[in-house]
Structure 1
Amino acid sequence: MAESKVSLKLLIDMKSKRVLFAEAGKDFVDFIFHILAMPFATAIRLLGKQGMVGCLSNLYDSVENLNDSYIQKGQNKDILLKPNTANPMTSVPLLLLNDKTTANNFYRCWNCSGYVTDEPTATCPSCRRLMNKDLTYVAPPHVNENSNDDGGFVKGVVTYMVMDDLKVKPVSPISSITLLSQFNIKDIGALHEKEIKVGMNEALKLLKASLHSNEVLTTVFLNDI
């Protein structure tokens, strides 16, 4: 099966050799926001031991400050800001870690139906028999089967601006112009637009860079331009 990739459009200042910002769709923004929900043990397993520094706090602020109108119906910021490790949202979405969703197996006692376990060698607390009778899990229905909900955390009808330090906000013409002024860009001709594809390797590099750098996009992508 071919690796899934998403597109990212970079705006690069060739004079200062830095990525000013990226225009990104929902898939990429869902990924970087879900870094917040990833257990650090998983990050350590993937990347090796890294210092927990960098710009992860900017992701936190971006989620906290994002207007609720950009968030999918039925989602809540606390899923990311105060993640519960038992929540399915804590698994990073996308191409990202190539983790396949696997259904848990559940079991009960052959005699009693008041207890459930995910370990077939468990003993029923009531009759002390093995709890190894298979149960079939039924997923709950969607909140609204007729909605345009396309999954993930943020809505897909919006283009987002992702800064070099991973600050995120919806794109607007005014915000783009303001940023160029803030960056003190004098020579528009020095700006270079580049569309790239982000796959598994790039995702892991982004995760690693976010733990120790405030120039994540420049660190990961500029050397490849």
Structure 2
Amino acid sequence: MAANRESSVSLKLLIDEKTNRVVDAEAEKDFVDILFSFLSFPILGDSNADDVNAKGLLCNLTMSNEFFDFLCSFLTVSIGSVIRALEGNSGLGCIDNLYTSVKDLDEKWFGSDVKDIILDPRIAQYHNCKRQSLIFPDRYESFYMIDPRNGSTFAEEPSLFIVSDDLEVNPLSFASSLQLLKEVKVAFSDIEEQVITVGTKEALSLLKAALTSPSSALTNGLIPS
């Protein structure tokens, strides 16, 4: 079987030369697709209490199997569904801004019904504990996650977006670019343009930054320290 080739996308960054921080990114739909896909990821994947106990990962804790099963079920819930359940305030870095951006973007930037499914990705049947106190009702009778995309992408094409350092996503326009520069208080003369390639390594770094950085996901995820 042939090995899967790593895919990559190009991304234009506008960087403040004085601070070496990203002001914004000018992105085509391929990069925005990467960002939107973060919301569809399960926090970990399917888990099993017996497997975890067998590995000896529980130390000095006493709990019933049902409660431990309940805790493990948290890891199977998608990031988007978690943020929705917490009404957009998960405390998970900049990912809340990404969720709000999807919520605020007009339907025309997405395929049919894609927007709602990005905001609340559905969980496959059996990827939950038997006595679940949290209600995530949208499940398919399948072990497989649904594919919410329109064809092969989340965003409609052609699409151009501006992405701020804290992962606010808006349609690209002169007005939106100018407004962002005013908000971050960076002079045009201090702006440096860089075009980078975002592959697997960069996407993983960006995902980590999106979940941990409160305001600088692009900088922390894509700019070498």
TM-score clears 0.5: yes
Whichever residue aligns with residue 170 of structure 1, its letter is P
Instruction: State yes or no: 1:204 paired with 2:204.
Output: yes
- List aligned pairs for 1:10-159, cutoff 5 A: 10-42=13-45, 53-72=92-111, 74-86=112-124, 151-159=152-160
1:183 equivalent to 2:184? Answer yes
Per-residue deviation, 1:52: 6.5
Residue 134 of structure 2 corresponds to which residue in structure 1?
none
Secondary structure of residue in 1 paired with 2:218: helix
Q: TM-score, normalised by structure 2?
A: 0.64
| AA in 2 matched with 1:35 | F
Paired residue total:
158
Give the greater-gyration-radius structure (CA). Answer: 1
State the one-letter code of the partner of 1:194: Q
Pick from 9, 24, 41 the counterpart of residue 12 of structure 2: 9
Query: Which residues of structure 1 form unaligned runs of 5+?
Result: 46-50, 88-115, 119-148
Please name the residue that 2:170 is paired with.
169
Per the alignment, in what secondary structure is the counterpart of residue 83 of structure 1? coil
Which residue identity lines up with residue 222 of structure 1 in the other structure?
A: I
Instruction: Quickly say closer, same or farther: Cα 1:171–1:85, change in 2 above 3 A.
Output: same
Residues 185 and 200 of structure 1, relative CA distance in 2, 3 Å threshold: same
Residue 219 of structure 2 aligns with which residue? 218
1:76 Cα deviation after fit: 3.1
Please identify runs of 4+ aligned residues in structure 1 that moved more than 6 A. Answer: none
SS of aligned partner of 1:160: strand
Whole-angstrom distance in 2 between the partners of 1:9 and 1:217:
12
Q: Is the 8 A contact 2:170 2:176 kept in 1?
A: no
User: By how many angstroms is 1:161 displaced?
Assistant: 0.7
Deviation at 1:181, TM superposition (A): 1.7
- For residue 155 of structure 2, what is the amino acid of its counterpart? V
Quote the Cα distance in structure 1 between the aligned partners of 2:22 and 2:212: 17
Distance change (3 Å), C-alpha of 1:20 and 1:4: same
Task: State how far apart, in whole Å, the 2-side matches of 1:117 and 1:210 are.
Answer: 30
Work out whether residues 94 and 211 of structure 2, in 8 Å CA contact, stay in contact via their aligned partners in 1. yes
Rounded to whole Å, the distance in 1 between the matches of 2:142 and 2:206 is 38
Q: CA deviation digits over 1:91-147, x for unaligned, max 9?
A: xxxxxxxxxxxxxxxxxxxxxxxxx999xxxxxxxxxxxxxxxxxxxxxxxxxxxxx
**Superposition CA RMSD, Å:** 2.6
For structure 2, which runs of at least 5 residues remain unmatched after alignment? 46-74, 77-89, 126-140, 144-149
Deviation (angstroms), 1:34: 1.5
Structure 2 Cα separation of the partners of residues 222 and 195 of structure 1 = 12
Cα distance in 1 between the residues matched to 2:142 and 2:154:
30
Query: Which amino acid counterpart does residue 185 of structure 1 have in structure 2?
Result: V
What residue is the counterpart of 1:160 in the other structure? 161
Conserved? CA contact 2:208–2:221, under 8 Å: no
Cα displacement string for residues 146-169 of structure 1 (whole angstroms, at most 9, x for unaligned residues): xxx653111121111111111101
1:75–1:153 Cα contact (<8 Å) kept:
no
Q: TM-score, normalising length from structure 1?
A: 0.64
